[in-house]
Structure 1
Amino acid sequence: MDQIIIQHMETVRRITEQAIMRIPEEVANIIPEGFNNNIRWNFGHIAFVQEKLVFGLLGEEMNIPSNYEQLFNAGTRPADWRGTPPSLIEIADVLKEQKARIKDFIQYRLYETLPTPFTNRAGITFYTVGEAFLFSFYHEALHIETIKQLYRAISSK
């Protein structure tokens, strides 16, 4: 079963990697009316949250650029950004590298209890690595759908 979970993570991430490569850089910062964030934020948020759910909750080193927490954590928004955010290509590289690290790291840790249970913003509490990891697939898919909606809204103008 663990191998099926890893394969599913690879499938979800492949969809995300394909999506980021189809988005032109020039539309990545546009925030259409009715949206809170842009395409760049959503891709960066996927990377940050995945890192937190897999590595951060276990107290492991989060091996993504140090500014990702300030740029892409829940509750952040592009209007508050200072400096230049990473390009889509840079985020794509982080997503790809992250997938390989997760595959190596998580295989035998899915049933490991988290040092401290983690309750997300939706009020869902995770007690094991596997619970948090499985939720990350849902989270990633939600943001891919938001990215699609953003792109449609931008393209329709």
Structure 2
Amino acid sequence: MEQTILHHMETVRSITIKSINTIPEEITDIVPEGFNNNIRWNFGHIAFVQERLIYSVLGEKTSLPVEYEKFFGPGTKPADWKETPPTLMEISSVLAEQTERIKEFVPKRFSSKLPTPFTNRMGISFYTLGETLLFSFYHEAMHMETIKRIYKTISN
């Protein structure tokens, strides 16, 4: 079952990476009316949250560049950026590398109990690494839908 779930993670992530590699960089910093964030923020946020849901919940060291939290962490927004964020190419590389790290890290840890249950903003608690991994697919898809909506709004 773990291999099926990891394969599904690869499928979800391949959709994300295909999308990031087809969107023109010059439109990724536009925040259309009705949105709080832009396309770049959503892609970076996917990487940041995936890292938290796999490594941080177990108390493990994360491997993302340090600046990802200030650019893409929960509650951040492009309007507050004081420095230049990572390029789409950099975020794409981080997403691809992250997938490979997770594929190596998760086996035999899927049922690992979290030291402290993780409760998301909706009040849902997770108790194992497998639960947070599965939730990460929903989170990624939700942000991919937001990216599609922003792209469509910009394109119209």
Rounded Cα–Cα distance in structure 1 between residues aligned with 2:115 and 2:99: 23
* Identity over aligned pairs, percent: 62
Deviation at 1:150, TM superposition (A): 0.4
Deviation at 1:143, TM superposition (A): 0.3
Partner-residue secondary structure (3-state), 1:22? coil
Rounded Cα–Cα distance in structure 1 between residues aligned with 2:122 and 2:48: 17
Letter of the 1:46 counterpart: I
Query: 4+ residue stretches of structure 1 with deviation over 6 A?
Result: none
Letter of the 1:10 counterpart: E
Q: TM-score, normalised by structure 1?
A: 0.98
Deviation at 1:40, TM superposition (A): 0.3
Letter of the 1:112 counterpart: S
Partner-residue secondary structure (3-state), 2:21? helix
The C-alpha deviation readout for 1:107-145, integer Å capped at 9, x for no partner, is 111100001101011111111000001000000000001
Unaligned runs of 5+ in 2: none
Unaligned runs of 5+ in 1: none
Structure 1 residue 36 corresponds to structure 2 residue 36 = yes
Q: What residue is the counterpart of 2:24 in the other structure? A: 24
Partner-residue secondary structure (3-state), 2:60? coil
Q: What residue is the counterpart of 1:95 in the other structure? A: 95
Rounded Cα–Cα distance in structure 1 between residues aligned with 2:107 and 2:17: 21
Partner-residue secondary structure (3-state), 2:62? coil
